[in-house]
């Protein structure tokens, strides 16, 4: 499930290969692959040169030598693979973008958007101050230079909701999904259902610091993958899942206190936590 570290791994992999290349053709194969709010069909990007690959939270976009950008969101199961144009089409191939230049094999390369559950999308968008329309309402992620820790703390501390939904709220801090939320809460020793208002500034600061660190480690490991649902641009899985402390470990002993990890369902999600460490 792509969260910030997985999207960053994909972004970095793409950047290495596609910057400076021109898009020859672009086409979609599924009605949901292109977002409804896209200002133009995907084929519009043909002819544009890719000048940068950017990311904020879980949103990724290609800056082009045009007045529009190409935005991508991987949703639950989206993948962006860099492949040779003669490689057979895989199941769930939703769109492809053929690039200029050739590989050493003499074949063209293309970016393939593959998405089993079709919650991901591509979109052609205008950008205001370099931020695409669909990303405008998304908060900065903790890896951005302008990330304002104090502002995030003051937003969270007045909320009347549980802390976990606040951590998942992409308009407060972006990039954190269910896996890294559970991991950050465990590291900070905070119960997922505690109300934001009841936390001190110090505790919230600690929590954000833990979230940042766990995502930093996951980026270094190439992301988390449990199954076929997350791959980097070369089709490889990350290996951070073995470093997870609570997510997917219900019943296993907490690595700090040996108490069994509990799994509860709330806010339409599963939460994993240590009932002893996280009061």
Q: Which residues are catalytic?
A: 2-3, 58, 269
CA angle 99, 105, 106 (to 5 degrees): 55
Applying CB under 7 A, among 11, 54, 55, 58 the residue interacting with DNA is 58
Q: What residues numbered 136-155 form the site for DNA, per CB under 7 A?
A: 137
Provide the minimum distance between the beta carbon of 54 and DNA in the complex, in angstroms, as a whole number.
Answer: 15
Give the contacts of 156 (CB within 8 A, at least 6 positions apart). 163, 166, 172, 196, 199, 204
Run of H or E residues at 109: strand 108-115
Applying CB under 7 A, among 11, 73, 96, 187 the residue interacting with DNA is 73
DSSP for residue 158? T
DSSP for residue 18? H
Candidate segments 64-72, 98-106, 173-181, 230-238, binder of DNA by CB under 7 A: 173-181
Provide the minimum distance between the beta carbon of 176 and DNA in the complex, in angstroms, as a whole number.
Answer: 8
Candidate segments 79-87, 93-101, 141-149, 169-177, binder of DNA by CB under 7 A: 169-177
Residue 213 interacting with DNA (CB under 7 A): no
Residue 270 interacting with DNA (CB under 7 A): yes
For the chain, the C-alpha Rg in angstroms (whole number) is: 20
Residue 107 interacting with DNA (CB under 7 A): no
Residue 223 interacting with DNA (CB under 7 A): no
- State which residue, 13 or 165, has the beta carbon closest to DNA: 165
- Give long-range contacts, CB 8 A cutoff, 24+ apart: 15-21: 15/52, 15/53, 17/82, 17/109, 17/233, 18/50, 18/53, 18/62, 18/82, 18/99, 18/111, 19/50, 19/51, 19/52, 19/53, 20/49, 20/50, 20/51, 21/49, 21/50, 21/99, 21/100, 21/101
Q: How do beta strands 93-102 and 262-266 pair?
A: unpaired
- State which residue, 32 or 205, has the beta carbon closest to DNA: 32
Residue 60 interacting with DNA (CB under 7 A): no
Q: What residues numbered 31-50 form the site for DNA, per CB under 7 A?
A: 32
Instruction: By CB under 7 A, name the binding residues for DNA.
Output: 1-3, 32, 57-59, 73, 75-77, 91-92, 116-119, 134, 137, 159-162, 165, 168, 170, 174, 177-179, 227, 265, 267-270
């Amino acid at each position: 499930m792509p969260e910030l570290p997985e999207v960053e791994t994909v972004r970095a992999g793409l950047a290495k290969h596609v910057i400076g290349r021109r898009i020859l053709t672009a086409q979609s194969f599924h009605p949901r692959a292109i977002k409804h709010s896209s200002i133009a069909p995907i084929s519009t990007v043909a002819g544009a040169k890719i000048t940068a690959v950017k990311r904020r939270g879980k949103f990724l976009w290609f800056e082009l030598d045009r007045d529009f950008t190409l935005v991508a969101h991987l949703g639950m199961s989206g993948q962006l693979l860099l492949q040779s144009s003669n490689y057979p089409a895989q199941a769930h191939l939703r769109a492809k973008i053929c690039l200029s230049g050739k590989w050493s094999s003499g074949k063209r390369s293309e970016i393939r958007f593959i998405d089993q559950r079709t919650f991901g999308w591509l979109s052609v968008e205008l950008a205001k101050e370099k931020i695409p329309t669909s990303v405008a309402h998304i908060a900065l992620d903790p890896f951005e230079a302008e990330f304002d820790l104090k502002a995030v703390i003051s937003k969270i501390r007045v909320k009347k909701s549980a802390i976990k939904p606040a951590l998942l709220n992409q308009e407060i801090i972006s990039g954190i999904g269910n896996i890294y939320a559970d991991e950050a809460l465990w590291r900070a020793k905070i119960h997922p259902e505690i109300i934001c208002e009841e936390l001190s500034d110090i505790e919230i600061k600690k929590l954000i610091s833990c979230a940042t660190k766990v995502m930093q480690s996951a980026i270094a490991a190439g992301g988390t993958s449990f199954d076929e649902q997350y791959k980097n641009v070369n089709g490889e899985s990350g290996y951070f899942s073995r470093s997870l402390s609570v997510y997917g470990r219900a019943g296993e002993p907490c690595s700090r206190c040996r108490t069994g990890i509990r799994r509860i369902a709330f806010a339409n999600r599963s939460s994993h936590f240590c009932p002893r460490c996280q009061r």
